[in-house]
């Protein structure tokens, strides 16, 4: 690569950041007390700046440190246009052997998003166009840290309010107890009838016995999918659950790179794939995962978190692949990363659908003053 390449990477900077949550939603993994995020800024020789989001992995300071040291040293000097080459170098030098495993995948994801943001800005195109797509209307469901473990009546009221906002699909949280989960599901279905599609997410809070207990109710109330009942490495339980459940299983937000998705697909238990572009290896790797999914006729419904950067990346991907499904819209009452750190990208149209941003690259603006004002808060995000 010539030294004068205007897209040569001259700096990589990670900003781990946290905000407290005042009225935390309770999920299968606990009650939310804060939100974390890691924002990645890449600067080129020409002065173009790209932004990306690396998932915090519940250790935002560690992910930021990895990016600001090892990942920065490996990426600087390469061309931001060479997304495959950068990805391969980071994989070989950090993730494939003796790396930090999950942490490396998260860090690579944020850097990769920023490189694609630069590529789009360099040619003046929104990312979906650079990826070969068009500006599609993408069905959205109400998700994020919301619709948690409330009394059935209160949950039905929250769901009805979201339906009033235009959402035609929503995701309830399960993983409490089978009886309480069924009561909440039944209350929402009674309140809203067939006006919405319903998904449920256990946040790895179920046992195989729990799945057997809720299976009849999930079928009765026409649930679209049961998401992550078990930890991602519990392959046996996923296989057993698929044999008895009667509704599709969804998973993938905690699977990393095409190699783990290859195992997930070949096992044959999961029917909806949910890569998170801030976790699974970024946009470059998500395209490879989507190609695998297309060959197996499996839909891609990305998991999104937590800022407008990852949300926009997901919308651009869904606009450019032939296996795209739902977009997960974050309807959490509190999310400053969505509302203040970045510009919002998830506005619904009259049909309950969303569109990718039109501005070049990811099409998202980042408030750097916000990052300076919100340093990392140490400790667990859920208690």
- Pinpoint the alpha helices (H) of the chain: 60-66, 72-75, 83-90, 102-123, 127-130, 152-165, 178-192, 208-220, 235-244, 257-267, 282-295, 308-318, 336, 368-373
Return the CA Rg of the chain.
20
Q: Quote the crossing angle between the two packed helices 178-192 and 152-165, to the nearest 10°.
A: 40
Please count the helices (runs of H) and the strands (runs of E) in the chain: 14, 13
| Rounded Cα distance, 354 and 6, in Å | 34
* Angstrom distance (rounded) from CA 245 to CA 238: 10
From CA 186, how far away is CA 107, in angstroms rounded? 40
Side by side, which strands form the sheet with 9-20?
9-20, 34-44, 49-54
For 41, the enclosing helix (H) or strand (E) is strand 34-44
- The distance of Cα 291 from the centroid of its chain, to the nearest Å, equals 18
In 3D, which of 105, 176, 168 has the Cα closest to residue 138?
168
Is the CB of residue 188 less than 8 Å from the CB of residue 198?
Answer: yes
Residue 227: CB atoms within 10 A of its CB come to 28
| Structural domains of the chain in order of their starting residue, each with its CATH number | 9-124+369-373 (3.30.390.10), 129-366 (3.20.20.120)
Instruction: Give Cβ neighbours of residue 154 (< 8 Å, ≥ 6 apart).
Output: none
| pTM metric for this prediction | 0.96
Determine contact, residues 197/168, Cβ cutoff 8 Å: yes
Q: What is the pLDDT tens value at each position of the chain, 383 positions in all?
A: 456 899 999 999 999 999 999 888 898 888 989 999 999 999 999 999 999 999 999 999 999 999 999 999 999 999 999 999 999 999 999 999 887 689 999 999 999 999 999 999 999 999 999 999 999 999 999 999 999 999 999 999 999 999 999 999 999 999 999 999 999 999 999 999 999 999 999 999 999 999 999 999 999 999 999 999 999 999 999 999 999 999 999 999 999 999 999 999 999 999 999 999 999 999 999 999 999 999 999 999 999 989 999 999 999 999 999 999 999 999 999 999 999 999 999 899 999 999 999 999 999 999 999 999 999 999 999 99
State how far the alpha carbon of 14 is from the alpha carbons of 51, 95, 197, 282, in Å: 10, 18, 38, 15
277/288 Cα distance (integer angstroms): 12
Supply φ then ψ for residue 31, to 5 degrees.
-95, 130
Give burial (CB, 10 Å; 0-12/13-18/19+) of 154.
Answer: exposed
> Helix 102-123 crosses helix 282-295 at what angle (to 10 degrees)?
100
Beta bridge partners of 273: 251, 300
């Amino acid at each position: 690569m010539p030294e004068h390449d205007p897209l040569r990477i001259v700096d990589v900077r990670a900003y781990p950041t946290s905000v407290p949550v005042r009225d935390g939603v309770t999920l299968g993994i606990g009650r939310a007390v804060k939100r974390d995020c890691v924002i990645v800024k890449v600067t080129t020789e020409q002065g173009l700046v790209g932004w990306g989001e690396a998932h915090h992995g519940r250790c935002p300071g560690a992910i930021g440190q990895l990016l600001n040291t090892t990942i920065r040293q490996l990426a600087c000097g390469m061309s931001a246009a060479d997304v495959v080459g950068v990805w391969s170098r980071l994989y070989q030098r950090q993730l494939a052997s003796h790396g930090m495993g999950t942490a490396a995948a998260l860090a690579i994801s944020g850097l990769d998003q920023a490189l694609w943001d630069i590529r789009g800005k360099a040619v003046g195109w929104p990312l979906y166009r650079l990826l070969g797509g068009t500006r599609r209307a993408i069905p959205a469901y109400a998700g994020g840290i919301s619709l948690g473990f409330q009394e059935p009546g209160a949950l039905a009221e929250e769901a009805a309010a979201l339906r009033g906002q235009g959402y035609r699909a929503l995701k309830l949280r399960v993983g409490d107890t089978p009886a309480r989960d069924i009561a909440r599901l039944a209350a929402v279905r009674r309140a809203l009838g067939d006006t919405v599609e319903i998904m449920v997410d256990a946040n790895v809070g179920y046992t195989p016995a729990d799945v057997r207990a809720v299976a009849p109710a999930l079928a009765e109330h026409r649930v679209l999918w049961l998401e992550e009942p078990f930890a991602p490495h519990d392959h046996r339980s996923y296989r057993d659950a698929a044999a008895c459940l009667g509704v599709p299983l969804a998973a993938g937000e905690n699977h990393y790179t095409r190699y783990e998705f290859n195992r997930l697909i070949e096992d044959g238990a999961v029917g909806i794939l949910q890569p998170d572009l801030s976790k699974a290896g970024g946009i470059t790797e998500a395209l490879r995962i989507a190609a695998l999914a297309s060959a197996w006729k499996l839909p891609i419904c990305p998991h999104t978190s937590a800022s407008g950067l990852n949300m926009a990346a997901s919308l651009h991907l869904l606009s450019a692949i032939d296996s795209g499904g739902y977009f997960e819209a974050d309807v959490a009452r509190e999310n400053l990363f969505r509302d203040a750190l970045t510009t919002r990208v998830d506005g619904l149209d009259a049909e309950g659908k969303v569109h990718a941003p039109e501005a070049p690259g990811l099409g998202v603006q980042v408030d750097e003053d916000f990052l300076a004002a919100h340093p990392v808060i140490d400790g667990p995000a859920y208690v």
